[in-house]
Copies of this chain bind each other. A is one copy, B any other.
Amino acid sequence: MSFFEAMKKVASKAREASRKVSCAEGSARNLAITELAELLQAEKDFIFAENRKDLEAARKNGLDAARLQRLEITESVLEYMIKGCEEVAAQGDPVGEISKMERRPNGMMVGRMRVPMGVIMMIFESRPNVTVDAAVLCLKAGNAVILRGGSEAIHSNLALAALLRKALERAGLPGDAVQVVEVTDREAVSELLKMDEYIDVVIPRGGEGLIRAVVQQATMPVLKHYKGVCHIFVDKSAEIPKAMDVIKNAKVQKPGVCNALECLLVHEDIAEDFLPSLGTLLSACGVTLKGCPRAMPLLGEKAVAAEFDDWGREFLDLTLAVKVVCGQDEAQEHIARYGSNHSEVILTRDHARAMRFIREVDASMVGVNASTRFNDGGQLGLGAEIGISTSKLHAYGPMGATELTSTKFVLLGDWHIRN
């Protein structure tokens, strides 16, 4: 069987299953998710054993420690998966709600019903817990899903897929509603990315190279985020000690993630009061500061001069670029030029400047007096999330179960005809 034929089979089975899942009651979808939670607990020795096969192969292939760690399913990773299932099952049903139902001048009732998207394809790198997170969220929203994880995690993913199938069948739903692609060749993915008649949307999660390759090839829409180059603008009216706490949190609490702070923009009127103590604080936390020429003398002796390509750079480690700006205009210009539409924050006591910032800055989350680290589905109140979209079509920001649905128009007539 060619890749094309094999993938067409996967995609058409997903389409068929999606019709059944989309019509299933929320109780059946929730039952599949709670059954999965039970199976993850009951079958944990099986999961650990399959995961060990991946870990051994990865060690042989010389995978680095960070990637090995992401690949490993520990007791606590498993507990986290189970807890995730329980939380998603407990959420309200995103499907079926009818909103904006209004009576038209001719007496017809017109509203919008929230409906599943159809078939979602997820392409991700090595972390096997994404397999469960993604499957559960797609299923909650009434979708079928095709999962394609990294080849390093294939044993773990197939083990989880087997449990997912069992859980679906126990709930009376088609097992094909969640499929893990067994073929890990790139050509197989390329075939799937052309099947827009079966697949409604693709969500890649991983490095920029992976995402660009998906965008180039896909004929269906892509929900994506490339990177998080997040800024904080410290206005001249910021409260200095509180501003330092927020900046430290945004940079230091978890520097390797997309909503961590990468670049600080400081109003020139506050720079002299602010930057020396900030330099001391962040240096003590192990942060390397890269300053613009005006910031350099204020940041302490450990600071280094920023290079041109440090602006707009996603460091993903304990490095922070710092620039002194003339005011809000220059700060917003800088963000428009170098930001990545992810998370942008102003620290200020001035109401008008706060309102201007949230209105004018184009990012999936704009904030006032809060850490960039809050751009996360759980923190913003969506519950679990499947990723953060930095493009504006369909969803902008964290995507929970509701963001994996659409709405259709519902028309209730009394034998109405159009004149």
Task: Compute how far the CA of A117 lies from the CA of B108 in the bound complex, rounded to whole angstroms.
Answer: 31
Question: Which residues of B have CB within 8 Å of A108?
Answer: 370, 374
Whole-angstrom distance from the CB of A298 to the nearest CB of chain B? 22
| B410, A367: Cβ atoms closer than 8 Å | yes
Task: Compute how far the CA of A360 lies from the CA of B18 in the bound complex, rounded to whole angstroms.
Answer: 12
Given the interface contacts A359-B96, A360-B23, A374-B418, does A104 sit within 8 Å of B409 by beta carbon? no
Stretch touching chain B among A39-47, A216-224, A272-280, A318-326: A216-224
Mark each residue of chain A from 67 to 85: 1 if its CB lies under 8 Å from any CB of chain B, else 0: 0000000000000000000
Q: Does A364 contact B (CB under 8 A)?
A: yes
Assuming A363-B408, A369-B415, A397-B408, what are 10 further A-B pairs, CB within 8 angstroms?
Answer: A113-B358, A115-B392, A118-B362, A118-B392, A216-B219, A221-B221, A221-B391, A374-B413, A393-B393, A396-B408
| B113, A370: Cβ atoms closer than 8 Å | no
Task: Compute how far the CA of A113 lies from the CA of B373 in the bound complex, rounded to whole angstroms.
Answer: 19
| B221, A411: Cβ atoms closer than 8 Å | no
Q: Does A53 contact B (CB under 8 A)?
A: no
Whole-angstrom distance from the CB of A320 to the nearest CB of chain B? 16
Interface residues on A, range: 35 or more
| B219, A196: Cβ atoms closer than 8 Å | no
Can you list 13 contacts pairing A with B, beta carbon distance less than 8 Å?
A: A22-B360, A23-B359, A110-B381, A117-B392, A118-B362, A221-B393, A239-B415, A242-B415, A369-B412, A370-B412, A373-B418, A374-B413, A379-B418
Mark each residue of chain A from 248 to 272: 1 if its CB lies under 8 Å from any CB of chain B, else 0: 1100010000000000000000000
Question: Which residues of B have CB within 8 Å of A374?
Answer: 108, 411, 413, 416, 418
Most buried by B among A246, A360, A381: A381
Copies of the polypeptide in the assembly: 2
Whole-angstrom distance from the CB of A412 to the nearest CB of chain B? 5
Whole-angstrom distance from the CB of A304 to the nearest CB of chain B? 27
Closest chain B residue, CB of each to CB of A414: B369
| B392, A396: Cβ atoms closer than 8 Å | no
Closest chain B residue, CB of each to CB of A117: B392
| A367, B104: Cβ atoms closer than 8 Å | no
Q: A367 touches which one: B345, B363, B412 (CB < 8 A)?
A: B412
Q: Does A245 contact B (CB under 8 A)?
A: yes
Q: Does A368 contact B (CB under 8 A)?
A: yes
Closest 5 CB pairs of A and B: A370-B413, A367-B411, A249-B417, A392-B406, A242-B415
Residues 2-28 of A contacting B (Cβ, < 8 Å) = 19, 22-23
Q: A415 touches which one: B370, B375, B416, B417 (CB < 8 A)?
A: B370
Given the interface contacts A394-B394, A417-B371, A418-B373, does A366 sit within 8 Å of B409 by beta carbon? yes
Q: Does A58 contact B (CB under 8 A)?
A: no
Given the interface contacts A222-B221, A369-B416, A370-B108, does A22 sit within 8 Å of B362 by beta carbon? yes
Whole-angstrom distance from the CB of A26 to the nearest CB of chain B? 12
Q: Does A365 contact B (CB under 8 A)?
A: yes
Given the interface contacts A215-B196, A216-B219, A370-B416, does A406 sit within 8 Å of B379 by beta carbon? no
Whole-angstrom distance from the CB of A82 to the nearest CB of chain B? 23
Given the interface contacts A96-B359, A113-B359, A394-B394, does A380 sit within 8 Å of B367 by beta carbon? no
Mark each residue of chain A from 219 to 234: 1 if its CB lies under 8 Å from any CB of chain B, else 0: 1011100000000000
Closest chain B residue, CB of each to CB of A118: B392
Whole-angstrom distance from the CB of A374 to the nearest CB of chain B? 6
Q: Does A305 contact B (CB under 8 A)?
A: no
Q: Does A162 contact B (CB under 8 A)?
A: no
Task: Compute how far the CA of A407 lies from the CA of B403 in the bound complex, rounded to whole angstroms.
Answer: 12
Task: Compute how far the CA of A398 lies from the CA of B408 in the bound complex, rounded to whole angstroms.
Answer: 10
Q: A411 touches which one: B19, B110, B239, B380 (CB < 8 A)?
A: B380
